[in-house]
Amino acid sequence: MDALFNRLAQALNSNEQFEMDDSFQLSITQVHHAPQGTGRPRRGIPGHPAMQLLTSQKRSVIRINNRDELCCARALVVAKAKVDQHPKQKAIQEGKGPLQRTLALELQHEAKVPLGPCSYDALTAFSAAPSLAHYQITLVDAHRSFHITTFGDTQDKQLILLHHHGHYDVITRLPGFFGSSYVCAHCGKPYEHEGRHRCNNKRHCRACCQKECPDFLGAYPRGQKATRRCHTCHREFFGETCYQTHLVKDHAGKPVTNPQSTICFLRRRCPNCRKQEVGLEKIQRHQCYYVDCPSCHEYVHGETHLCFIQRPPKPQEKKRKKKRQGGPRAKRGAATAGLQTAPEEEEDVDDLPPLHVFFDIEAMQPHEQHIANFIVAETEDDDQAIRFPGE
């Protein structure tokens, strides 16, 4: 009851009061999160066509077409055949013959899972089956914002299932399904650049970027900070083991033979501004207090840069730019040699930098229309304000 009234107090505004001096009615809604996979996907339900379109267009998704209640077991045997490169992988994947159903029934009997909807308990039982001892089952639940749940111990071979609308399909590659370059194996978040993902897993060391780092596991629960500094990358580590690991391993936790693939070489912190850069290209171009401007996409000084909202190029400007380039590379020399004086002058005018004008409008709405009665404007080259009074 205490937890219930605490939730109720959080829902009230700061200027509202709730006194229990009279009877009241309380409605409670219970939300079930566990999936219940059955047979075919249900059709005609709002929201289903969008998911069906996603699964049909994704090349990283293998759709399970069945009319029984074996979609979960069928998906597991199809994923297993895909991972093992089974000689009859195509026949198992298509499911046109009896092979897919036979293997699914054998797996269902081996795991002692009764026929019917398969929830988390059924997936746990499947992961304990002897034939899947060297595999880890990964579930992507579309009803929980594509939350990732794993069943069984960590293994190199993964059987990835997609649960949506009471049905199970197979995902061949998580990065392809999420449309990203990488997917974190610890927290399940997709990301684009290697080494740029900040994992929220409490067992993943953010210093040496390794899982189960003993120095990090000992320091994190006690709130201790990293103090062992590397004089090469200027970063801090939680201990000697953490420090030595970042010298010999990469971001995936694999030992490296090339020193340029280590974490120490690809992740460095500036000793002056203390900004951390990841990747050789960004390390080499680093300048203190410079940032990537999100508007003009230039590498500029963060304190002195004055930026503006960029306007998208018009189709005529794109054609004009291609025309100035002279077409293909083989024809550019002849096109440049044949230019006349007048077009060159026009191109010089077009290539001039734009003049930025900053303005403010004071308006009224007498008849539900904005009518300006005073305008102030100035350019970036001149601080003198120009006023345009109305009538």
Determine the Cα–Cα distance for residues 270 and 220; give it in Å rounded to an integer. Answer: 25
What band does 196 get if pLDDT is binned at 50, 70 and 90? Answer: low
Which percentage of the chain shows pLDDT scores above 90? 30
State how beta strands 61-62 and 167-171 pair: antiparallel
List C-alpha distances in Å: 309 to 73, 316, 360.
53, 20, 16
Instruction: Please choose, from the candidates 235, 254, 242, the residue with its C-alpha nearest in 3D space to the C-alpha of residue 204.
Output: 242
**Which domains can be identified in the chain, with CATH numbers?**
52-179 (3.90.70), 194-281 (no CATH), 289-320 (no CATH), 357-389 (no CATH)
pLDDT tens profile 65-103: 888 888 999 999 999 999 999 999 999 998 888 999 999
What confidence score (pLDDT) does residue 19 get?
65
Determine the Cα–Cα distance for residues 188 and 148; give it in Å rounded to an integer. Answer: 6
For residues 190-202, give the mean pLDDT: 71
For residues 246-266, give the mean pLDDT: 89
The angle that helices 71-84 and 99-111 make with each other, rounded to 10 degrees, is 110
What confidence score (pLDDT) does residue 331 get?
45
What confidence score (pLDDT) does residue 177 get?
87
Which percentage of the chain shows pLDDT scores above 70? 76
Q: Is 81:93 a contact under the CB 8 Å cutoff?
A: yes
* Secondary structure element (H or E) that encloses residue 276, with its range: strand 276-278
What band does 294 get if pLDDT is binned at 50, 70 and 90? Answer: confident
State how beta strands 167-171 and 190-191 pair: unpaired
What confidence score (pLDDT) does residue 318 get?
62
State how beta strands 135-141 and 157-164 pair: parallel
Least confident of 245-259, 312-326, 374-388: 312-326
What confidence score (pLDDT) does residue 45 get?
35
Top pLDDT among 261 and 17 is at 261
What band does 47 get if pLDDT is binned at 50, 70 and 90? Answer: very low
What band does 254 get if pLDDT is binned at 50, 70 and 90? Answer: confident
pLDDT tens profile 98-131: 999 999 999 999 999 988 888 889 999 999 999 9
Which of 39-53, 235-249, 334-348, 374-388 is predicted most confidently? 235-249
Top pLDDT among 50 and 166 is at 166
What confidence score (pLDDT) does residue 9 get?
66
What band does 211 get if pLDDT is binned at 50, 70 and 90? Answer: confident
pLDDT tens profile 321-376: 555 555 444 444 444 444 444 444 444 555 566 778 888 888 888 877 888 888 88
* Secondary structure element (H or E) that encloses residue 362, with its range: strand 357-364
Neighbour count for residue 320 (Cβ, 10 Å): 15
Neighbour count for residue 10 (Cβ, 10 Å): 7
Two tokens, residue 34: 């566990």
List C-alpha distances in Å: 226 to 13, 93, 270, 274.
42, 50, 17, 15
What confidence score (pLDDT) does residue 49 get?
45
For residues 247-265, give the mean pLDDT: 88
Averaged pLDDT of the chain: 80
What confidence score (pLDDT) does residue 156 get?
84
What band does 311 get if pLDDT is binned at 50, 70 and 90? Answer: confident
Residue 137 has pLDDT above 50, yes or no: yes
Instruction: Please choose, from the candidates 51, 79, 61, the residue with its C-alpha nearest in 3D space to the C-alpha of residue 175.
Output: 61
Two tokens, residue 377: 């404007």
With vertex at residue 109, the alpha carbon angle to CA 104 and CA 113, rounded to the nearest 5 degrees, is 95
What confidence score (pLDDT) does residue 326 get?
53
Which residues are paired to 163 by β-bridges?
141, 168
For residues 173-184, give the mean pLDDT: 86
Determine the Cα–Cα distance for residues 298 and 287; give it in Å rounded to an integer. Answer: 13
Q: What is the radius of gyration, based on Cα positions, of the chain?
A: 31
